Amino acid sequence: MNIKSLLIGSAAAFAAVSGAQAADAIVAAEPEPMEYVRVCDAFGTGFFYIPGTETCLKIGGFVRFQTSFGPNQSGASDWDAGTLVDINFDARNDTELGTLRSFVNLEYAADEDATGAGDSGFDIDEAYIELGGLKAGFFYSWWDSGINGETDVHGNITEFNSIAYNYDGGTWRAGISLDELENTGVANGALLKNVGHNNLGVAGTVGFSLGGVNVDVLGGYDNAAEEGAVRAILSADLGPGTLQVLGVWASDVNAYWSASEWSVAAAYSFKASDKLTITPAAQYFGDVNFNGAGSPDAWKVGLTVGYQIVDGLAFLGTVNYTQTDLVAGGHADATTGFLRLQRNF
């Protein structure tokens, strides 16, 4: 065997061994699968699946800038400007007992007067758990709902730690709630706070919808005051808008209603265009002292204008005039309102 043949043979053997080792050593690692966010359309638009779960989540809210005007809006000032940030988290999933929902609404208000005081600060606006028709947590009661516009007074305290049950049958609906009336009480005919006791309230509602007509009847009983109130709202599509009428009566001052012994209100929300809505409204208050001296009355009229500037951005403005009778004779009046710019997301 000559030198040339020896070299060629050695090279071939080395290449065979090296090729086998290289084939064994070079193994491409499989990439880990990426879990993309999936759209959840089971509960409406805006929901997505939380990765790794079957729970759907929706994040929303708004940023609001508002300038209010009227007597003593901020200390001695007749106007006040403020900004409000609102963010909410809505999580839902289906269970064998119905839809399980948790909702949290967080707010931060930036509104201080010249002294640094005011309404600035963080607030949990709502936080509750819901399963089927059962609802428990801190949330707005049915007394928070009113008629269109920004003129009517329709409730007193409207947020409670509560346990409620709602039934919605489509055409008709009903509900009942047990409300913690925290730090509220009645003394000398006026609603007071921080009286040292947490009390219990009961509220119930029933309503129906048929052919553009909605009727809702609501009642609330304040166990501490041993007084209650009832309210009814009628809403009907009429022409290019919606007519609403409200009536309320209370046996005396209580946690649900304290503005007057009785009151009636009406509003007509007129859709002037796809973007412009105009709502005139009025309300009358009978016996604001609840059979006290003089039994004075009061009335209020106002106009609210809403305009959808672009998708997600809206303007809302209102002006209201209120006149209240005085026990000594004559009356007191005030003009109030606000201008609001709000970006929803």
Q: What are phi and psi of 15, to 5 degrees?
A: -65, -40
- Diameter of the chain measured on Cα atoms: 135
- Provide the whole-model pTM: 0.82
Q: Which residues, 6+ apart, have CB-to-CB distance to 198 below 8 Å?
A: 180, 181, 182, 183
In this prediction, residues 156-178 reach a mean pLDDT of 93
Angle at CA of residue 321, ends 317 and 325, nearest 5°: 155
Average pLDDT, integer, range 147-169? 92
Token readout for 217 is 């009847």
Q: How far is the CA of 68 from the CAs of 210, 304, 317, 336, in angstroms?
A: 38, 14, 10, 8
Quote the pLDDT of residue 131: 97
Which residue ranges make up each domain of the chain? Answer: 37-108
Please give the average per-residue pLDDT across 185-206, as a whole number.
Answer: 72
The mean per-residue pLDDT over the stretch 53-62 comes to: 96
Q: At 107, is the pLDDT very low, low, confident or very high (cuts 50, 70, 90)?
A: very high
- Backbone Cα Rg of the chain: 31
Token pair for 25: 């050593």
Percent pLDDT > 90 in the chain is 67
Q: Which residue has the tokens 């020896």?
A: 6
Please write the tens of the pLDDT for every residue from 220-265.
999 888 899 999 999 999 999 999 999 999 999 898 999 999 999 9
pLDDT for residue 44 is more than 70: yes
* Statement: residue 150 has pLDDT above 80: yes
Q: What number of other Cβ atoms are within 10 A of residue 67's Cβ?
A: 15
How high is the pLDDT of residue 199?
86
State the pLDDT at residue 312: 95
Q: Please say if the pLDDT value at position 193 is more than 90.
A: no
